[in-house]
Amino acid sequence: MSSEPDYERLPAGVPMDETDVSLRAYLARLSDERLRSYDPSWSDEQVMKWDGNFRSDGALMLVCCERDVDVAEFRRALEEHLRFRFGR
């Protein structure tokens, strides 16, 4: 049995739709090295380039999503994920 937190469902107790879970699953699959290279002071354009998975219309390319995820929502979820994963 794994002791690793279920990053796809954090934060616990917060209602999530399919897109929220898909976004968190996407972040959970990123390597520690990749995540540690993120800089919260970057512009939205730099974040989109760093991730490399944003469409030309500014939405993140995700499977199993009900709605588009823009860079602001991506940042919020990413920074939340970093706090859970690394305590930062």
Query: Half-sphere exposure of 12 toward its Cβ, with a 13 Å CA cutoff?
Result: 3
Domain ranges for the chain: 19-86
Give average pLDDT by consecutive 10-residue segment, the chain, 88 residues: 59 82 93 96 98 96 90 96 86
The model scores a pTM over 0.95: no
| Per-residue pLDDT at 68 | 95
| Per-residue pLDDT at 16 | 85
Q: Which residues contact 51 (CB under 8 A, 6 or more apart)?
A: 60, 74
Amino acid letter at 30? L
| Per-residue pLDDT at 71 | 98
Pairwise CA distance, residues 72 & 49, whole Å: 14
| Per-residue pLDDT at 48 | 98
| Per-residue pLDDT at 6 | 66
Cβ–Cβ < 8 Å for 63, 10:
no
